[in-house]
């Protein structure tokens, strides 16, 4: 898909532009030409059971609401704090009831508002141990994008997670699946939600796309990157679930499956074929990149 080919280029261009304008440089790097859809508002909605979409048009953020407080998976850019606050309000939830913060990966487009949300709510930040260092220095130690100072407000994690760890709150049990490659700690989440009709196994997948800065021959900060991608592509092929979602709306065709105002319809996200196709495409780009190093 065009979207998938363009994304790494947009990402790289944004970073180059921010470095070439050092006059604008602040403590946390500012990006000047990011995709507008990353900050564009999108009406929040109920996906299935107690799982809600609260992100922007393109950067997915998920709320799992429980009687003991809420779990937020991903933010968007720094400006997504205000958007997420407004979305919780629209849905009738209290922002201050966010108790746990999780993310698919410690890149600035998914964690830039974490520090602000933690400060405002006191929520516990939990992250795969292999992304904890990158989160703590604002992305400066990222193997592919790092070395230029903080790209987002740094945050020290409260709990380090490992493959198959379970995160529990208010009757929810969320299993972390370590899917390294895109970042060293990239992870997906697998859990059950239920509504009046039935229960659904939900996968919030970190789709293993490869940014243009990544060299699969191995990088100083990540010698085994190719091996990890191979592991992740294979592991993700074998997952069983009813509904799937991802960190970017475009990765799971959100806008084809749900339009603002649509009635509650979990089945819109019941799309094994779409998941398999997306993974097949990522496998092809992995092989292409491996052969063209």
Q: Which residues bind Zn ion (CB under 5 A)?
A: 107
Strand-by-strand arrangement of the 172-178 sheet: 166-169, 172-178, 187-194, 199-205, 243-246
Angle at 35 between CA 32 and CA 40, to 5 degrees: 105
Q: Least separation, in Å, of the C-beta of 207 and Zn ion?
A: 10
Q: Least separation, in Å, of the C-beta of 265 and Zn ion?
A: 29
Nearer to Zn ion, 42 or 152 (CB): 152
Place of tokens 């989440």: 189
Rounded CA-CA distance 192/171 in Å is 10
Nearer to Zn ion, 111 or 174 (CB): 111
Residue nearest to Zn ion (CB): 107
Nearer to Zn ion, 107 or 118 (CB): 107
Q: Least separation, in Å, of the C-beta of 187 and Zn ion?
A: 12
Nearer to Zn ion, 70 or 130 (CB): 130
Rounded CA-CA distance 214/163 in Å is 23
The number of C-alpha atoms within 13 Å of 155 and in the hemisphere containing its C-beta is 29
Burial of 140 (0-12, 13-18, 19+ CB in 10 A): middle
Nearer to Zn ion, 59 or 167 (CB): 59
Q: Least separation, in Å, of the C-beta of 11 and Zn ion?
A: 8
Q: Least separation, in Å, of the C-beta of 182 and Zn ion?
A: 6
């Amino acid at each position: 898909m065009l979207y998938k080919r363009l994304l790494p280029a947009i990402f790289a261009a944004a970073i180059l532009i921010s470095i070439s304008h050092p006059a604008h440089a602040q403590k946390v790097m500012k990006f000047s030409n990011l995709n507008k859809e990353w900050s564009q508002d999108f009406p929040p909605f109920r996906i299935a059971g107690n799982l809600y979409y609260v992100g922007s048009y393109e950067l997915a953020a998920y709320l799992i609401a429980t009687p003991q407080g809420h779990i937020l998976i991903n933010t968007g850019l720094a400006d997504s704090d205000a958007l997420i606050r407004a979305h919780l309000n629209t849905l009738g939830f209290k922002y201050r009831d966010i108790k746990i913060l999780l993310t698919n990966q410690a890149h600035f487009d998914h964690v830039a508002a974490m520090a602000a949300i933690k400060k405002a709510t006191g929520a516990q930040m939990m992250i795969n141990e292999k992304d904890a260092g990158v989160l703590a220095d604002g992305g400066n130690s990222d193997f592919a994008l790092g070395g230029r100072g903080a790209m987002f407000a740094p945050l020290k994690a409260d709990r380090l997670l490992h493959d198959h760890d379970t995160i529990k709150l208010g009757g929810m049990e969320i299993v972390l699946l370590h899917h390294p490659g895109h970042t060293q700690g990239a992870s997906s989440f697998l859990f059950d939600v239920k509504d009046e009709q039935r229960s659904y196994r939900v996968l919030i997948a970190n789709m293993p796309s490869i940014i243009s800065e990544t060299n699969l021959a191995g990088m100083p900060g990540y010698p085994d990157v190719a091996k990890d991608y191979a592991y992740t592509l294979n592991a993700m092929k074998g997952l069983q679930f009813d509904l799937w979602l991802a960190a970017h709306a475009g990765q799971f065709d959100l806008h084809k499956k749900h339009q603002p105002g649509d009635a509650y319809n979990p089945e819109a996200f019941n799309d094994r074929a779409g998941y398999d196709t997306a993974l097949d495409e990522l496998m092809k780009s992995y092989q292409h990149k491996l052969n063209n190093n």
